[in-house]
Amino acid sequence: MVVLGLAYGSLSACSSDQPNAAASPAGASPGGASSSGASSSGAKSGDFTAGAGGHGPSTPSAGGVAGNPVGGATSEVAGAAGSDTSTKPPGPCSPSPCDVHALCSATTGSVKCMCLAGYLGDGTSCAAAPNPCVAAGSCPEGEWVQHQLPGMTGADTIQTVLNDPARPSDFYAFVGSNAGPTIKVYRSVDFGETWENRNKTADITGNPWGASIDPNKNRDPGTPPTLWSPSGYGAVGAWKSVDGGETWVRSTACDAAYATYNPFGAAVTDLYHIAILPDDPPNHVLATYHYYFKDRADGGFGETWDGGTSWVIHPPPDGIGTSHYVIPISGTTWGVIAQDNSGQNGIWRTTTAGRVGGTAAAKFRDGTISTAAWSKVDDLEHAHGSHQNLVLADGTIFATGWVTGARSVDHGATWQHFTDGSWAPPHQFEQSSMTNLAVTERYVYTNMMANTYLARAPVGDAVGAAQWTISYCTKPDVYQEGGGPFGMASVYQPSLGKWVIIAGTLRSGIWKYVEP
């Protein structure tokens, strides 16, 4: 499996929590979000985490809705390139005119922008410096190495990273921001070494937080994969590509099905995660909702089993929460994990496709959609802004969550948390929200949303703080934070005889790690 993470620049231990560049000179401040915009303690429901990468329910306010999901900058864009979310009084560097990867310094009558170590540019626009080992084909094993996504801007955040199971050499990286630009869909056909933006559809805009790919490894490899993506704080709606991300079509049937449930207008179908289910890919799809349903406190789900031609809506049970990610256990057993809310919402599960009555032979579609088909199975909730879960071939499920993560070995009926207390030194990453996951034959890897920790544990024995180590590798100073939802992917690379992991980060690029 592949993890995004090539490292360039001076290296530090994975357990370090160093700033992303050398100490700022006097009077200088980072051009991007301050620590107040991406605190290591994460955010509760209704707040934001990690600036433009964060996304969650906004609070209605007088005169309108804060964080309206339709296009443009919102309250959750704090931390976008050139902004400063601290409480400092306004000044030449507050907000900063510099790139998010630059330092801003002010002298009398002038402002100077300087790209951070590991980045090149004039300070108002900075791009990651190419690592010479990539072109030379000499990057070492056991280190995270940064690779290039051509055309990335300072406002862009890497959200979902996917591997094509029918073409293991191919990876996709979905890039966007809450400011509403056209979404970039990068593809690599050489195990993450080089990338190109394939998207030619300007109308799919915003943040692709929770895209998915056809999981059928037996698909004809000569046929491009079907992809689905949401478009938060942009065009909104459910978008489908059948040519590997080059062109996209919005599902009008999805909009029609959600129309009476959308709280901000019939056409504002603000989805969160669009997951292709494993029983009949790519036709069976389950979509979750960013906000709450109209006149409800919780968000429900949309389902199509004909590739988006028609949709049905599953109203939410009381207390299930909002901003869910799907845990695609089977065609009829689904898990969903809510955004962090002090454990009040947690993980919910249905074993009958959200219906009562009906028959297994008909996948319960001859039953009746009902909130009674769902039950809460655990208090684990995902951190605001990111999550990942993995359903392994043997049925084991891993999921990240607020401060900790969890494992299930009984199809999501019960969960064992990685730790229910403090992470014991030297494994400590206290108050850090687990973000992404990738597995190899030997290990399960994770990163942390708002800091530099990288950790792994034995794939067969991941429960317990002592199982996780944050000193397995060296890491570049410019690796600043974790990734967006489903931001890691892994695969075995035959030419190397090694597992590789590709990892996106919200602001510090895409990375590759070759497991020694």
Helix (H) or strand (E) holding 104: strand 102-107
CA dihedral angle for residue 492, residue 496, residue 501, residue 507, rounded to 10 degrees: -150
- Residue 488 is predicted with a pLDDT of 97
178 Rama class: left (phi>0) / alpha (psi -120 to 50) / beta: alpha
Residue 325 in this model has a pLDDT that exceeds 50: yes
Residue 432 in this model has a pLDDT that exceeds 70: no
- Residue 80 is predicted with a pLDDT of 31
Helix (H) or strand (E) holding 392: none
Q: How confident is the model at residue 2 (pLDDT cuts 50, 70, 90)?
A: very low
Please tell me the chain's helix, strand, coil percentages from 3-state DSSP, rounded to the nearest 5.
Answer: 5, 30, 65
Tell me, what amino acid is at 112? K
b/e map of 469-504 (b: 16 or more CB within 10 Å)?
bbebbbbbbbbbbbbbbbbbbbbbbeeeeebbbbbb
Instruction: Give yes or no for a contact between 508 and 6, defined as CB atoms under 8 angstroms apart.
Output: no
Domain boundaries, the chain: 12-17+155-476
HSE-CB for 51 with a 13 A CA cutoff: 34
- Residue 91 is predicted with a pLDDT of 79
**Percentage of the chain modeled with pLDDT above 90:** 61
Longest dimension (CA), the chain: 76
Instruction: Give yes or no for a contact between 158 and 506, defined as CB atoms under 8 angstroms apart.
Output: yes
Average pLDDT taken over every residue of the chain: 83
Q: Which residues contact 457 (CB under 8 A, 6 or more apart)?
A: 418, 443, 444, 467, 468, 469
Residue 350 CB neighbour total at 10 angstroms: 25
CA distances from 280 to 171, 245, 361 (A): 22, 20, 14
The stretch 215-228 carries a mean pLDDT of: 97
Q: Tell me 58's DSSP state.
A: P
| Dist. CA 119–CA 117, nearest whole Å | 6
CA distances from 317 to 292, 300, 322 (A): 12, 8, 11
Residue 277 in this model has a pLDDT that exceeds 70: yes
CA distances from 228 to 138, 162, 272, 274, 396 (A): 35, 11, 11, 6, 25
The stretch 111-120 carries a mean pLDDT of: 85
Residue 65 in this model has a pLDDT that exceeds 50: no
Instruction: Give yes or no for a contact between 228 and 240, defined as CB atoms under 8 angstroms apart.
Output: yes
Tell me, what amino acid is at 222? G
- Residue 471 is predicted with a pLDDT of 81
The stretch 31-39 carries a mean pLDDT of: 30
Q: Please write the tens of the pLDDT for every residue from 306-320.
A: 999 999 999 999 999
- Residue 480 is predicted with a pLDDT of 78
| Dist. CA 379–CA 337, nearest whole Å | 9
By mean pLDDT, which of 42-56, 102-116, 144-158, 244-258 is the weakest? 42-56
Query: What's the full length of the chain, in residues?
Result: 516
Tell me, what amino acid is at 161? V
- Residue 68 is predicted with a pLDDT of 55
Residue 236 in this model has a pLDDT that exceeds 80: yes
The stretch 283-289 carries a mean pLDDT of: 98
HSE-CB for 129 with a 13 A CA cutoff: 18
| Dist. CA 204–CA 483, nearest whole Å | 21
Instruction: Give yes or no for a contact between 378 and 46, defined as CB atoms under 8 angstroms apart.
Output: no
Expressed in angstroms, the distance from the first to the final Cα of the chain is 13
Instruction: Give yes or no for a contact between 11 and 513, defined as CB atoms under 8 angstroms apart.
Output: no
Residue 142 in this model has a pLDDT that exceeds 50: yes
| Dist. CA 61–CA 354, nearest whole Å | 33
Closest CA to 14 of 500, 473, 430, 513: 473
Q: Please write the tens of the pLDDT for every residue from 117-128.
A: 778 888 888 877
- Residue 428 is predicted with a pLDDT of 58
Q: Which fold has domain 12-17+155-476?
A: Methylamine Dehydrogenase; Chain H (2.130.10)
Q: How confident is the model at residue 40 (pLDDT cuts 50, 70, 90)?
A: very low
